[in-house]
Amino acid sequence: MLLGIGFLLAAVVWPFVGKEYQVYLSLSFFSYSIALLGLNLLFNYTGLISFGHALFLGIGGYTAAFMTHKYSILSMELIMVVAVLLSGLVAFLTGLICVRYIKIYFAMLTLAFGMLFHSFLMKTYALTGGDEGMHVTQPKLLSMDLSQMDKMSFFSGPYYFYSLVLFLAAAFLMWRIVHSHFGLSLQAIRDNPDKAEYLGVSIRRYRLYAFVISGCFAGLGGALMAPVTGHMDPAMVFWTHSGDMVFMALLGGFSNFFGPMLGSLVFIFLRDAVSSFTEYWRFIFGALLAALVILAPGGLMGLLGRAWASLAGARGSGEQAT
């Protein structure tokens, strides 16, 4: 609770104290976090690992690109509604197939669908600009035309708070979902599918619901991300980008509700810091990922939890001694 209030205060004060560029970077944090809320509904709460979640980021992002750039529809709210509906639809159609499988087969199917969309984007040059991608025009927020603002102050001002509010709303919604009857059923399916089925939980249907919700969150994240980068290209949906998302979730600790958010925060700012002194940030991140997988599969949240427990333990035994 205290941590939550602390985060909120920090997030509100941040644009006034942080450097403009760093405030701009935190916009990626908001959009990735929203997408990761979705990814983690599958990864942690349903026990399914998606290696193709960038597909939904891409659908959200390309929705924003199409609407703003091709059709001059600049209302961010409308863009997000369409992005969520479209990703939900695609998640439903692909999910019908994907949720029939678990484990490595689920991962492979999601990867295949992601790459199918990637090759579609690459080859439909006339429609999507192929590998050059598409421009994303600065949208209107709540029907306010802010195009006269200079780009940086738009992003570190109104867009920042807009994203923050969305992020909080998305996190609140997901919190409610995972603590609802539905969320608990998903965890029951993850832990013991046979027992859950015996108790009357329809496994496939619940997995499909989770997949659709997960896709919607990722689509929303993608739509929010698009104006920030100002550009959409197929690299957005390439399988390595999906891998990065899973990386973020693991980095923060996917078995904790807040872990993936911490993961995206650290990933984004650490990458920025590392790539400012070496161009070989991938090597460092690869080594970091390997170390995490082998030594600390609970991620940063796991490490913090362990440190906290040993601290509390030390204090507890200290009290006994006196």
Partner 1 sequence: MAVLLNILSSGVFNASILFLVAAGLQLVFGVQKVFNLACGSFYALGAYLGITFVDAFTGAGGPPLLSFIPLLAAGVLLGALGPLVERGLLRFVYQRDESFQLLLTFSVVLMFEDVIRFFWGTYPRSPKGVYLAFGTLHIGGATIPVYNLLVIGASVLIASLMGYVLGKTRFGRIIRATASHSEMAQALGIRSSVVYMKVFTLGTVLGTVGGALVIPTTAAVSEMAVHLIVLAFAVVVIGGLGSMKGAFVGALLVGLLKSVSIAVYPELEMMLIYLIVIGVLVMKPQGLFGGTS
The residues of the shown chain that bind partner 1, judged by CB under 8 A, are 43, 49, 51, 97, 100-101, 103-105, 107-109, 111-113, 115-116, 118-120, 122-124, 238-240, 243, 246-247, 250, 279-283, 285-290, 293-294, 297
Query: What is the C-alpha separation between 186 and 190, in angstroms, rounded?
Result: 6
Q: 94 vs 163, which CB is nearer to partner 1?
A: 94
What are the angstrom distances between the C-alpha of 70 and each of 63, 65, 83, 147, 156?
Answer: 10, 7, 15, 17, 26
Looking at the Cβ atoms of 137 and 244, the one nearer to partner 1 is 244
Minimal distance, residue 113 CB to partner 1, in Å: 7
Residue 101 or residue 154: which is nearer to partner 1 going by CB? 101
Q: Which residues of 54-86 are buried (b: 16+ CB within 10 A; e: fewer)?
A: bbbbbbbbbbbbbbbbeeebbbbeebbebbbeb
CA dist 225 to 1, 125, 241, Å?
Answer: 28, 22, 14
Lookup result for tokens 């969309």: 117
Alpha-carbon distance of 46 to 102, in angstroms, equals 10
CB closer to partner 1 out of 30 and 247: 247
Q: Smallest distance, Å, CB 53 to partner 1?
A: 13
Minimum Å gap between C-beta 262 and partner 1 is: 17
Burial class of residue 288 in the structure, from the number of CB atoms within 10 Å of its CB (0-12 exposed, 13-18 middle, 19+ buried): middle
Shortest CB 237 distance to partner 1, Å: 12
Q: Which is nearer to partner 1, 124 or 310 (CB)?
A: 124
* Token pair for 282: 């991938």
Q: How far apart are CA 45 and CA 71, in angstroms?
A: 38
Q: Which is nearer to partner 1, 78 or 284 (CB)?
A: 284
Q: How far is the CB of 49 from partner 1 (least distance, A)?
A: 4
Where are the strands (E) in 249-308, listed by range? Answer: none
Burial class (CB in 10 A: 0-12, 13-18, 19+), 132: exposed
Instruction: Please state the closest distance from residue 228 (CB atom) to partner 1, in A.
Output: 24
**Smallest gap, in angstroms, from Cβ of residue 170 to partner 1?**
23
Residue 92 vs 281, nearer CB to partner 1: 281
